[in-house]
Amino acid sequence: MSQAQRSSAAATVPNDLESFWLPFTANRAFKKSPRLIVRAKDMYYYTADGRAVIDAAAGMWCTNAGHNRDPIVAAIQRQAAELDYAPGFQFSHPKAFELASRIAALAPADLDHVFFVNSGSEAVDTALKIALAYHNVRGEAARTRLIGRERGYHGVGFGGTSVGGIVANRRHFGAMLAGVDHLPHTYNREQQAFTKGEPEWGAHLADELERIAALHDPSTIAAVIVEPMAGSTGVLPAPKGYLPRLRAICDKYGILLVFDEVITGFGRLGYAFAAERYGVVPDMITFAKGVTSGSVPMGGVLVRKPIYDAFMRGPQHMVELFHGYTYSAHPLACAAGLATLDLYRDEKLFERAKALEGKWADAAMGLKGLPGVLDIRPIGLVVGIDLASRPDAVGQRGFEIMDRAFHQENMTLRAVGDTLALTPPLIVTEAQIGEMFDKVGKLIRAVA
């Protein structure tokens, strides 16, 4: 780090930590021992005191191309100087169309249309609203029920919280949306522990949709939303055959299937979208995070052509869908998105993730047998590692590892309770994979 970088980093260290209420954070613990990052490049963060910290979490599952990549930085800078903002309702700007076409080209089948938003949460709520409105404009207004899944994470809007299935994210927020039901989650440690990739056991759990459909009558169900790999709950890959089975049941009853690919989109599982990995075409795909490699907030919903077409009728001067955000398709996000997609293509980063998957899984499985390791679930460039909880202190071991990783081992990772999640930028090298798992092994022993 140069002297100039060091002094500018020092100037960014705050002297008052009180005002900022950090999201999804143990605020009091953080403020006693802050984990502050002042700069980043490629695979590394840098702290104010000049430590290089390897990023084993791709930010938060988002910086798939690595941090502060020059072409993305330059694109954002150019765009900021050229067009800061263009209204998104009744006006637009060329890069919004260009990015939508590029994303649609990456998506399977006739997922041809893109509705832009600013986050994964907005993408989910948008997809749920499009599902309801789609049935409505086709004269099936009785289809109002939305089906999520236990342990699912779909962001923090009321729609996403309602279909989500992580108890801690729901319990303080009242009754939420009416008419929501949940599929069972797909995890069973006895049947699935230490599986690389998709577990053999669990496809039959999709049949629970039959039961739910029978209970409510299928004609009242608008959509089913699932993550192809449940990420935030601690990495639960879909069992083999589960997603095709869900697709078949949705088809049978005219229910829309939404894949929430906010994490799995843009290379995380070795494909542009996980839909391609599983050979299943959903009716909508939600995305965010990797679309700009985390550099500017952006999300969106990919929509199949017949859904879009269903709205394109009535008087031509009329708004077809009464929904959108001030910053939908923001010029800076579009510029960042285009530069990011170029990088993914030019550096073949999705293919790289696929090629590294086996080595990644082997390295992760090297932790098997360490004290308290109950399960290891690698898939794509992701792994979830379950640790035994301390009696009466659930989550403490995970928290300690996350905190020590940053302060002592110069690494960031995610901890969900006592499950560790690693999910590095797709530019990670084999040597860096080795380094990450060595550090995790050391940390697991340290908190045993």
Tokens, residue 170: 């729901």
Q: Are residues 96 and 334 in contact, defined by beta-carbon separation less than 8 angstroms?
A: yes
| Residue of closest CB approach to ligand PLP | 120
Q: Rounded CA gap, 72 and 174, in Å?
A: 41
**Span of 11-19, 101-109, 153-161, 432-440 interacting with ligand PLP by CB under 6 A:** 153-161
Q: Are residues 367 and 385 in contact, defined by beta-carbon separation less than 8 angstroms?
A: yes
Q: How many residues bind to ligand PLP according to rule CB under 6 A?
A: 14
Residue 337 in the binding site for ligand PLP (CB under 6 A): no
Residue 79 in the binding site for ligand PLP (CB under 6 A): no
Residue 154 in the binding site for ligand PLP (CB under 6 A): yes
Candidate residues 9, 128, 224, 288; the one interacting with ligand PLP per rule CB under 6 A:
288
Residue 149 in the binding site for ligand PLP (CB under 6 A): no
Residue with tokens 């499985």, as numbered in its chain: 365
> Least Å distance between CB 366 and ligand PLP?
27
Tell how strand 180-183 and strand 145-149 pair up. Answer: parallel
Residue 235 in the binding site for ligand PLP (CB under 6 A): no
Residue 119 in the binding site for ligand PLP (CB under 6 A): yes
Q: Identify which of residues 129 and 404 has a Cβ nearer to ligand PLP in the complex.
A: 129
**Span of 80-88, 95-103, 259-267, 304-312 interacting with ligand PLP by CB under 6 A:** 259-267
Residue 227 in the binding site for ligand PLP (CB under 6 A): yes
Q: Identify which of residues 79 and 232 has a Cβ nearer to ligand PLP in the complex.
A: 232
At residue 418, φ and ψ (nearest 5 deg) are -100, 20
Q: Identify which of residues 120 and 282 has a Cβ nearer to ligand PLP in the complex.
A: 120
Q: Rounded CA gap, 279 and 277, in Å?
A: 6
**Span of 101-109, 170-178, 227-235, 425-433 interacting with ligand PLP by CB under 6 A:** 227-235
Candidate residues 55, 260, 418, 435; the one interacting with ligand PLP per rule CB under 6 A:
260
> Least Å distance between CB 416 and ligand PLP?
11
Residue 419 in the binding site for ligand PLP (CB under 6 A): no
Candidate residues 38, 72, 117, 124; the one interacting with ligand PLP per rule CB under 6 A:
124
> Least Å distance between CB 309 and ligand PLP?
26
> Least Å distance between CB 55 and ligand PLP?
16
In Å, the largest CA–CA distance within the chain is: 68
Tokens, residue 140: 């099936």
> Least Å distance between CB 219 and ligand PLP?
28
Candidate residues 47, 121, 169, 293; the one interacting with ligand PLP per rule CB under 6 A:
121
State the residues that interact with ligand PLP by CB under 6 A. 119-121, 124, 153-155, 227, 231-232, 260, 262-263, 288
